[in-house]
Amino acid sequence: MLSCVPGSRRARFPSKSLFLTVSLLAAGCSGEGGLVPPGEVLSMQQAAPVIRPEPAAPSIISAAETAFIPSAPDMPAQNVLAYPVADGVDMTQMTSALPEGNVSQPVVTGIGTDTLRLASAPAMEDYKPSSADIGAAQPSVSDQPPVTVEKKRGLLAGLMPRFSNPLSKPQWAGGMPASEKACRKRLKRLGVTYRDLPAISSGSGCSIPYPVEVTQLSGGIEIKPAAKLNCQITDAFAQWVKKELAPAARLRYVSGVKSINQLSSYSCRTMNSKRGAPMSEHAKGNAIDVGKVTLNNGTSISVRKPGFFAFREKSLLNNIRADSCKYFNTVLGPGSDVHHKDHFHFDLRARKSNYRHCD
């Protein structure tokens, strides 16, 4: 094996290939300028490739068509597709190569991505003015006479809640007071059939702010004709019929009450219809007159002074007169005066010291 030793004089070169090998080894032993060790080859940095820009293609868009090309930052004009076109080439043939064919509207590619591009622009000769352009040609507002708009006071609608149930409507919204609502709840518990009426006002001293029209009482007892009263007298009358009149009739006649004939409920008049007398409680819907009671067996009991031998009728009428004073403030009937010889008068007249007049 041939070694590289300084001062060696004996060296044989059997062939040209051996001579070339020895020359390469001599170059590696010389230090600087020789071969690079393998470790240093790995540490060498490679130079970055240089990409030369391609020359820009000439644009095929005319100056008239540049007005339709957007110049916003998200759609720069240089993104418009352009191809080199020789002289004499028909421009319509170029646009016919697009998927949409020969169109007069701008063709946009890249729909569905973040990079939209304008592929073509409409020709100016195909442009048709729109309604907006026609409106722009109209005279300006400054050329027209000023129009005076009258401002009307508006009402706020929808801010007030609507109540379908009269009992749920608060008083501040035009509803009933709490006492009237509580009274109507008592009527329903007693089984009274009634309906609310609009406020009644027939003049000075004749009014019912919250009237009711009563047609039937507990147990299906009818009121003939229907009576217009305030709720308070209706409540007292319904309790008297249910707790006193109906049980007394069943006890003496073994029959329930079918109907009650009332002679007067609301009536705008004075007491006993005398001129100059105070207003009657009937003028407030606060009184009711009973003239006849009809039983289920067909017996009719008229309110009048009974005969000497009418024991059951006399007992029933006396019971009515005595028990009714627990429910009313005034009770008048046959024997009280000439004006009440044929009916019972019941009312809730308020007196000082809660005095009750039962005659």
Q: What are 59-108's pLDDT values in tens digits?
A: 555 544 444 445 555 554 444 444 455 555 555 555 544 444 455 566 66
Q: Which residues contact 56 (CB under 8 A, 6 or more apart)?
A: none
Whether residue 355 is predicted with pLDDT greater than 90 in this model: the reply is no
Compute φ and ψ for 292, nearest 5 degrees.
Answer: -155, 145
Q: Is residue 79 part of a domain?
A: no
The answer to whether residue 320 is domain-embedded is: yes
Residue 270 lies in a domain: yes
> Does this model's pTM top 0.85?
no
Domain that holds residue 314: 176-358
Predicted confidence band at 237 (pLDDT cuts at 50, 70, 90)?
A: very high
Question: What average pLDDT is seen over the chain?
Answer: 74
In this prediction, residue 5 has a pLDDT band, given cuts at 50, 70 and 90, of very low
Mean pLDDT of 273-286: 92
Gap between the Cα atoms of 260 and 291, Å rounded: 8
> What's residue 4's pLDDT?
45
Nearest C-alpha neighbor of 211 from the set 190, 169, 183, 239 = 183
Among 82-91, 202-211, 229-238, the range scoring the smallest mean pLDDT is: 82-91
Residue 300 structure tokens? 């009719």
Tell me, yes or no, whether 142 lies in a domain.
no
Residue 324 located in a structural domain: yes
Structural domains of the chain, count: 1
Tell me what pLDDT residue 56 has.
57
Q: Residue 1 — pLDDT band, cuts 50, 70, 90?
A: very low
Query: Which of 45-49, 168-172, 237-241, 303-307 is predicted least confidently?
Result: 45-49
Which region among 121-125, 235-239, 264-268, 291-295 has the lowest average model confidence (pLDDT)? 121-125
In a domain, 335, yes or no: yes
pLDDT-derived band at 273 (thresholds 50, 70, 90) equals confident
What is the model's pLDDT at position 180?
Answer: 94
CA 40 to chain centre: 82
Residue 45 lies in a domain: no
Q: Is residue 135 part of a domain?
A: no
Q: pLDDT value at position 334?
A: 87
pLDDT at 286: 97
